Amino acid sequence: MAKVVCVLYDDPVTGFPPKYARDDIPAITEYADGQTAPTPSSIDFTPGALLGSVSGELGLRKFLEDAGHELVVTSDKDGADSVLDRELPDADIVISQPFWPAYMTAERIDKAKNLKMIVTAGIGSDHTDLQAAMDKGVTVAEVTFCNSISVAEHVVMMILSQVRNYLPSYGWVVKGGWNIADCVERSYDLEGMNVGTVAAGRIGLAVLRRLKPFEVKLHYYDKHRLPKDVEEELGLTFHPDVESMVKVCDVVTINCPLHPETEHLFDDEMIGKMKRGSYLINTARGKIADRDAVVRALESGQLAGYAGDVWFPQPAPKDHPWRTMPHHGMTPHISGTSLSAQTRYAAGTREILESYFAGTPIRDEYLIVEGGKLAGVGAHSYTAGNATKGSEEAEEFRKSG
What are 14-28's pLDDT values in tens digits?
A: 999 999 999 999 999
Catalytic residue among 147, 282, 302, 342: 147
Q: How far apart are CA 234 and CA 207, in angstroms?
A: 11
Query: Does 35 qualify as catalytic in the annotation?
Result: no
Tell me: pLDDT of 198 over 60. yes
Q: Give me the torsion for CA of 295, 298, 302, 308, rounded to 10°.
A: 80
Q: What percent of the chain has pLDDT over 90?
A: 93
- Residue 390: CA count within 13 A, CB half-sphere: 14
Across the range 130-153, mean pLDDT stands at 97
Q: How far apart are CA 272 and CA 296, in angstroms?
A: 11
Sheet order of strands, 117-120 included? 70-74, 3-7, 93-96, 117-120, 139-142, 367-370, 373-374
What pLDDT is stored for residue 383 in this prediction? 79
pLDDT digits (tens, 9 = 90+) for 345-368: 999 999 999 999 999 999 999 999
CB 102 within 8 A of CB 122: no
Query: Does 285 qualify as catalytic in the annotation?
Result: yes
Specify the pTM: 0.94
Query: Does 69 qualify as catalytic in the annotation?
Result: no
Across the range 283-304, mean pLDDT stands at 98
What pLDDT is stored for residue 391 in this prediction? 66
Which domains, ranges and CATH numbers included, belong to the chain?
3-146+337-400 (3.40.50.720), 148-323 (3.40.50.720)
Query: Does 302 qualify as catalytic in the annotation?
Result: no
Q: What percent of the chain has pLDDT over 70?
A: 96
What are the beta bridge partners of residue 221? 198, 239
Across the range 229-238, mean pLDDT stands at 98
Catalytic residue among 108, 328, 333, 344: 333
What pLDDT is stored for residue 401 in this prediction? 42
Helix H or strand E encompassing 71: strand 70-74
Tell me: pLDDT of 393 over 80. no
Across the range 256-271, mean pLDDT stands at 94
CA distances (Å), 188 to each of 107, 181, 207, 224, 254, in order? 49, 13, 20, 33, 21
Tell me: pLDDT of 292 over 80. yes
Tell me: pLDDT of 73 over 70. yes
Catalytic residue among 131, 314, 342, 344: 314
What pLDDT is stored for residue 398 in this prediction? 44
Catalytic residue among 154, 219, 239, 285: 285
Secondary structure class of 278 (helix, strand, coil): strand
